[in-house]
Amino acid sequence: SDQFAEVNKHSSQHPKPPGLVLQYGTAGFRTNAKLLDHIMFRMGLLAALRSKKTQATIGVMVTASHNPEEDNGVKLVDPMGEMVTPSWEGYATLLANAENEDLLAALKDVIAKEEINMSYEAKVFVGRDTRSSSAALSQAVLEGVSSFGGLSKDYGLVTTPQLHYMVCCQNTQGKYGEASVEGYYNKLCQAFLKLLKHASNCTDDQKHLSLDGANGIGALKVREMEHNVAKELQISLHNDGSTGKLNHQCGADFVKVQQKAPTGCEIKAGERCCSFDGDADRIVYYYSDSEGQFHLLDGDKIATLISTYLKELLIQAGLNLNMAVVQTAYANGSSTRYLEETMKLTVRCTKTGVKHLHHVAQEFDIGVYFEANGHGTVLFSKSAEDKVQKLFDNPNNDDEMKRAAHLLLNTIHVVNQTVGDALSDMLLIEAILAIKGMTVQQWDAIYTDLPNRQLKVKVADRRVIDTTDAERRAVTPAGFQDSIDALVKKYPMARSFVRPSGTEDVVRVYAEADTQENADALAHEVSLAVY
């Protein structure tokens, strides 16, 4: 039909380099930007098909998150703002790797398999980060959508979680909020200011936060948002993109992996600081003590702060909701122990990758999920939200219950439940610290991290390692797990695991133990056993 003629015509302007093979990985396609033009066009086509299939608006985000500026990438967002469903990741890989002359056949395959009604008009939201390649690449996405006669809305420069939010708002007819950047700021900032009404006597120090924007989109968006909250939160923005290079020696990934402060920020002793990553879906906190020692508060510390706060509120509100914290194998052993043994919370462990955590968190009334790297959010079930709203509306509550209900309600509103969101997480964390009158040092002291080390190892084929038990044990190669177990036994409080990376051609090794020397030695010994 005509539609396919259009696709053919435009596809020839976005040719695939013959023989190039790319995979839709844990976080979509990601590689050097020069290799991505055809991928973007084709993801526009696929998003249009996904929209026709679901009869809903689909999102396409052009970003490579914390990767270097030269890279780029793309991920698809499903109707409720979640990551695209796994079977469609398979289609993405299929379309991406079809040689030019096979593209139409590949598309027709997807259409037939999914029984897609091609007469439905596709709707696609597109967003992009600040990379120099992103504008042209997002144009290619838009062309893909329009080749199938679809409608698109280009949100331009937005954070990844903002795009997820827009998609969810659009498909819930505004019930989740208004599908605009303004609407997003209004919802989050109003909730934040309402939470802050419960913080008394905040000093200027407590109101001050130093923020590393990774020279990326998060910095631009903080600038847009900050005036809304300036009375309660004064942000000193560093690495705002005006001079430095994206993610270079800065950003959440750099700080987490290097365990040191980003360049571009002079941090004073005791000062509360945080870093976003390149598309603002991750956040970590840190400070430097009076001895100049660096202290990192990663996703595990964030999950602990949030879940502790929520548990206290549920008790005060007299609400019996089941809450869990969802982590991955990378969660520091001390955090898991504290959550289970001291806080008596349910803790679940999943495979690495946001979609896995998100999925498990959905099983609970309240699911707090965070990866140690700082990606995470809180999910509230429909019935949990209804119960909080009902409590809030009840005129017979005593003062303590009134306060707890108001806090819970506005906590729900400040959170971006579609995906981990650095801006939203920051507002929630800042609110909790203010409400509790807690300093970053007090937060850090809730538990002490076990010393740990991460290494990556290059191997001929990382797929020879297959894992089970949420990546905590290796099932292949034969005997490999036994070797790890034997090494782990040598050190007190030790734990180690090995998994193939989903984003790089390497194998990752994680080790923790009672001392840094032991963690380093264990990681080293396990990495030698990989060969």
- Which residues have a catalytic role annotated? 65
Structure-token pair, residue 293: 């020692």
472 is in an annotated binding site: no
37 is in an annotated binding site: no
Structure-token pair, residue 22: 């790319």
- The pattern of x and - marking residues 153 through 192 that bind Zn ion according to CB under 5 A reads ----------------------------------------
282 is in an annotated binding site: no
Contact 265, 239 (CB under 8 A): yes
Least distance between ligand 16G and beta carbon 371 (Å): 5
Give the residue with the Cβ less far from ligand 16G, 152 or 350.
Answer: 350
501 is in an annotated binding site: yes
Q: Which residues of 350-367 are buried (b: 16+ CB within 10 A; e: fewer)?
A: bbbbbbbbbbbbeebbbb
In 10 A of CB 501, how many CB atoms? 15
Between CA 407 and CA 311 the distance in angstroms is 12
Strands 234-238 and 208-212: parallel
511 binds, among Zn ion, ligand 16G, none (CB under 5 to 8 A by kind): none
502 is in an annotated binding site: yes
Least distance between ligand 16G and beta carbon 75 (Å): 7
Give the residue with the Cβ less far from Zn ion, 277 or 298.
Answer: 277
Options 49-57, 151-159, 166-174, 352-360: segment touching ligand 16G (CB under 6 A): 352-360
* Contact pick of 353, 367, 374, 376 for ligand 16G (by CB under 6 A): 353
Contact 35, 67 (CB under 8 A): no
Contact 294, 288 (CB under 8 A): yes
- The pattern of x and - marking residues 294 through 333 that bind ligand 16G according to CB under 6 A reads ----------------------------------------
Sheet strands side by side (includes 57-62): 29-32, 71-77, 57-62, 123-128, 151-157
Cα-based distances in Å from 158 to 172, 203, 279, 413: 20, 33, 8, 20
Give the residue with the Cβ less far from ligand 16G, 430 or 471.
Answer: 471
Structure-token pair, residue 394: 């009840």
Helix (H) or strand (E) holding 74: strand 71-77
Q: Residue 242 burial (CB < 10 Å; 0-12/13-18/19+)? A: exposed
281 is in an annotated binding site: yes
Least distance between Zn ion and beta carbon 393 (Å): 38
Least distance between ligand 16G and beta carbon 456 (Å): 9
In DSSP notation, 268-290 reads PTT--EEEE-TTSS-EEEEEE-T
Give the residue with the Cβ less far from ligand 16G, 10 or 282.
Answer: 282
503 is in an annotated binding site: yes
Site for Zn ion in 263-322 (CB under 5 A): 277, 279, 281
Between CA 408 and CA 428 the distance in angstroms is 11
Contact 129, 157 (CB under 8 A): yes
275 is in an annotated binding site: no
* Contact pick of 354, 388, 465, 513 for ligand 16G (by CB under 6 A): 354
213 is in an annotated binding site: no
Least distance between Zn ion and beta carbon 71 (Å): 12
Between CA 75 and CA 501 the distance in angstroms is 18
Residue 15 half-sphere exposure, CB side, CA atoms within 13 Å?
A: 5
Least distance between ligand 16G and beta carbon 501 (Å): 3
Per CB under 5 A, 444 contacts Zn ion: no
Q: Taking Cα atoms as reference points, which of 359, 364, 270 lies closest to residue 78?
A: 359
Q: Taking Cα atoms as reference points, which of 429, 362, 376, 422 lies closest to residue 162?
A: 422
* Contact pick of 27, 122, 274, 423 for ligand 16G (by CB under 6 A): 27
* Contact pick of 11, 26, 170, 481 for ligand 16G (by CB under 6 A): 26
Give the residue with the Cβ less far from ligand 16G, 377 or 503.
Answer: 503
Dihedral, CA atoms, 2, 76, 214, 442, nearest 10 degrees? 160
Contact 330, 369 (CB under 8 A): no
Between CA 42 and CA 459 the distance in angstroms is 31
Between CA 291 and CA 318 the distance in angstroms is 43
Site for ligand 16G in 502-531 (CB under 6 A): 502-504, 508
Between CA 172 and CA 169 the distance in angstroms is 5
527 binds, among ligand 16G, Zn ion, none (CB under 5 to 8 A by kind): none
Site for ligand 16G in 366-405 (CB under 6 A): 371, 373, 375
164 binds, among ligand 16G, Zn ion, none (CB under 5 to 8 A by kind): none
Strands 29-32 and 57-62: unpaired
Least distance between ligand 16G and beta carbon 29 (Å): 12
372 is in an annotated binding site: yes
The count of residues in the chain is 531
By CB under 5 A, how many residues form the interface with Zn ion? 4
277 is in an annotated binding site: yes
Least distance between Zn ion and beta carbon 253 (Å): 8
Give the residue with the Cβ less far from ligand 16G, 484 or 509.
Answer: 509
Rounded to whole angstroms, the maximal C-alpha distance in the chain is 71
314 binds, among ligand 16G, Zn ion, none (CB under 5 to 8 A by kind): none
399, amino acid identity: D
Site for ligand 16G in 484-503 (CB under 6 A): 501-503
* SS3 call for 183: helix
279 binds, among Zn ion, ligand 16G, none (CB under 5 to 8 A by kind): Zn ion
* Interacting residue ranges for Zn ion, rule: CB under 5 A: 65, 277, 279, 281
* Interacting residue ranges for ligand 16G, rule: CB under 6 A: 26-27, 352-354, 371, 373, 375, 501-504, 508
Which residue positions form the known binding site for substrate? 371-373, 499-503, 508
Which residue positions form the known binding site for Mg(2+)? 65, 277, 279, 281
Which residue positions form the known binding site? 65, 277, 279, 281, 371-373, 499-503, 508
